[in-house]
Structure 1
Amino acid sequence: MKASIKKTISIILPLILGVFLVYYAYNQFTAQQLQEIKLQFQNANYNFIVISTIFSLISLGCRAYRWKYSLNYMGYQSNFPNNFMAVCIGYIMNLTVPRSGEISRALVLKNYKNIPFDKGFGSIISERVIDFVILLLFIFTSLIIQFNTLKDFVLTNIPIEKIIYSLIILTLAGILGIYLLFFTQLKLMVLIRSKIKGLTEGVLSVFKMPQRKAFLFYTFVIWASYVATFYYGMKSISETDSLSIGIIISSFVVGSLAITFTNGGFGAFPLMISQILALYGISMTAGTAVGWILWSSQTAIVIILGGLSFIFLPIFNKKQKIN
């Protein structure tokens, strides 16, 4: 019962936050400004949204294909369709509970390809480690080329003191956790240690696999596709169709962080995009409109492909067994 309550809360709270952010954002607009946002949607060039969508599909396909390298290194085989559908299911799960998609991906391969959960999950974590490093590179690049503008934005919107206090608490908790995990013989800790061994193998697979270059190539394509998705989405409305690459990267970073720390960026993504673009003289109505256009188009892809994956995954694997 307690687990059920916790799961329900983990789903509802992010949604409540998203609804609040939507209300907060639109409560700032007058009726005339809301009409302007509506006109932005009506007058948007949806040809660019189609191009943006194509790059989004490329990133999904490359992520699914890249996954095979770390799995193969550990001695497990999973074909592209299963990997692709697992990735799509992972993304749609992230719309409900943040970061639950990684668990869902590993569970799909455990159920349909009999790949141990800890190994599959470890391979996904290794991907996330690489992706996080690349996101950090984007953040540092953005801070360097747009330092003066972003400095004020960061100081205004991020509570630095609270972050420092949180880091201190997390560090102390981490030290205590490490001691309990590695220096005690409690049954639970012994069990967790055995699981961590499999997880570690999955994480290290990226750095040991023979196909490192291929893995990194597809990683490059994934992130280049992310930026292209964002770039062409920005070109869909007149006020943001000629932004510099520096502004595009800054907006991309802010949008990525909004998606990373919420359930798919619901509410947070358009709000943060409008605020970052406002620093460069883009009206709040245009920034909000392009934020919603980008978020809606990408979320629609996730919902459609994720939903279809739930349907076709068991059908595809049933046919595989028959064959």
Structure 2
Amino acid sequence: MKKQIGKWLTILIPLFIGIGIIYYQYTTLTPDEIEKIKISFEKANYYYILLSLLIACVGYWSRAYRWKFALNHLGYETKFYNNFFTVCVSYLVNLTVPRSGEISRAALLKKYENVPFDKAFGTIVAERIVDLLIFFLFVFIGFVSQFDKIYQFLLSQHVSLQSLIITGCAGIIMFFIFILIWIYAEWEIILKLKKKLSGLVEGITTVYKMKDKWKYIFHSFFIWFSYLMMFYVAIFALPETSEISFDIVIMGFIFGSLAVGFSNGGLGAYPFSIALIFSLYGIPKDVGTAFGWLAWTSQTVLAILLGLISYVLLPLLNRNK
């Protein structure tokens, strides 16, 4: 019973968050802004949206291709189409429960390639760690390059330099306290976290030890490059966003990527975050909102279509097994 309740909560809580953000965003828009958003959808150049989705497919392909290096390192030779289709299904499943696609991906590979679930899931955990490190690199570059803009925004919100310094010092103190607790505490929750972290460390060392680690790392960067280009190409779909600078693109990409984890596939959160970041650079709210919904809708439709097609093809292509 508790498991069922927990399962439903993991679906409903992100969903309600997304719906709540949509409601808030809608109620803060004026009738004129809503009308402008509708016009933006009508006059958008969908050639660039299609090109963006094509780049996304290349990213899907690269993710599936990268996976084979980790699986080969563990001694498993899998068919590429099975890798690709399971990746596509995982994107679809992630639209229901955030990050649940990783579990379905490992389960499907177990079913169609007989790779043990724990082994497959371990390679996926390693992927997520590498992806997270690369994303942090994007965040670092973005915030360093936009420090002045972010600082001016904080000043406009009456956030003083003194309060930032105090917050920073408090953060450093809390970090050292956490390190001391981590090293010396024998609390059950800390011991459980240490056990889980050891698995993550093992995942990283797997990447380091594999034969084709440089190819693996290349595809890791290529995947994120394709994500960035997918976002960049989409800005040309609207005349109002077609001339924005690349630094704005990077910031929009960073906050859009962060928003995906707040609700089911970024429902509501993605368009809201894009509109918010774009507004910092003087882009009207209706334009930022229109672009956010255009990008999110197209990416979501692609994930649903590829996921459903892959789900149908997997048993058909493996029916002789």
Distance 2:125 2:177 in 1: 24
Return the offset for 1:260: 3.2
Distance 1:96 1:31 in 2: 31
Give the match for residue 4 of structure 1.
Answer: 4
Equivalent residues in 2 for 1:130-279, closer than 5 Å = 130-151=130-151, 176-177=187-188, 180-181=191-192, 202-279=203-280
Distance 1:29 1:87 in 2: 37
Distance 1:64 1:281 in 2: 39
Contact 1:118–1:199 (8 Å) recurs in 2: no
Give the match for residue 186 of structure 1.
Answer: none
Change (3 A) 1:227 1:179: closer
Give the match for residue 73 of structure 2.
Answer: 73
**Percent identity of paired positions between Structure 1 and Structure 2:** 43
Residue 28 of structure 1 aligns with an amino acid whose one-letter code is T
* Secondary structure in structure 2 of the residue aligned to 1:222: helix
Unaligned runs of 5+ in 2: 158-163
Deviations 1:96-145 (A, max 9, x none): 11111111111111122121111111101111111111110110101111
Return the offset for 1:239: 1.0
Give the match for residue 110 of structure 1.
Answer: 110
* Secondary structure in structure 1 of the residue aligned to 2:76: coil
Residue 311 of structure 2 aligns with an amino acid whose one-letter code is F
Distance 2:273 2:153 in 1: 11
Deviations 1:197-236 (A, max 9, x none): 8876554321111101111121222111111100011111
Deviations 1:163-192 (A, max 9, x none): 969989987689534764599xxxxxxxxx
Give the match for residue 309 of structure 1.
Answer: 310
Q: Does 1:49 align with 2:49?
A: yes
Deviations 1:50-72 (A, max 9, x none): 11011000000000010000010
* Secondary structure in structure 2 of the residue aligned to 1:109: helix
Change (3 A) 1:167 1:53: farther
Query: What is the TM-score when the length of structure 2 is the normalising length?
Result: 0.87
Query: What is the TM-score when the length of structure 1 is the normalising length?
Result: 0.87
Give the match for residue 161 of structure 2.
Answer: none
Change (3 A) 1:248 1:196: closer
Residue 13 of structure 1 aligns with an amino acid whose one-letter code is I
Contact 1:119–1:202 (8 Å) recurs in 2: no
Return the offset for 1:261: 3.7
Please list every run of at least 4 consecutive aligned residues from structure 1 whose deviation after the TM superposition is greater than 3 angstroms: 151-156, 163-175, 177-183, 195-203
Give the match for residue 188 of structure 1.
Answer: none
* Secondary structure in structure 2 of the residue aligned to 1:76: coil
Residue 275 of structure 2 aligns with an amino acid whose one-letter code is S
Contact 2:89–2:311 (8 Å) recurs in 1: yes
* Secondary structure in structure 2 of the residue aligned to 1:318: coil
Distance 1:259 1:154 in 2: 24
Change (3 A) 1:100 1:173: farther
Contact 1:94–1:100 (8 Å) recurs in 2: yes
Residue 291 of structure 1 aligns with an amino acid whose one-letter code is G
CA RMSD of aligned residues (A): 2.8
Distance 1:196 1:168 in 2: 18
Distance 1:272 1:179 in 2: 34
Return the offset for 1:146: 0.9
Distance 2:99 2:3 in 1: 17
Return the offset for 1:151: 3.7
Return the offset for 1:86: 1.0
Residue 221 of structure 1 aligns with an amino acid whose one-letter code is F
Give the match for residue 22 of structure 2.
Answer: 22
Residue 115 of structure 2 aligns with an amino acid whose one-letter code is I
* Secondary structure in structure 1 of the residue aligned to 2:237: coil
Q: Does 1:97 align with 2:97?
A: yes
Give the match for residue 63 of structure 2.
Answer: 63
* Secondary structure in structure 2 of the residue aligned to 1:35: helix
Return the offset for 1:308: 1.3
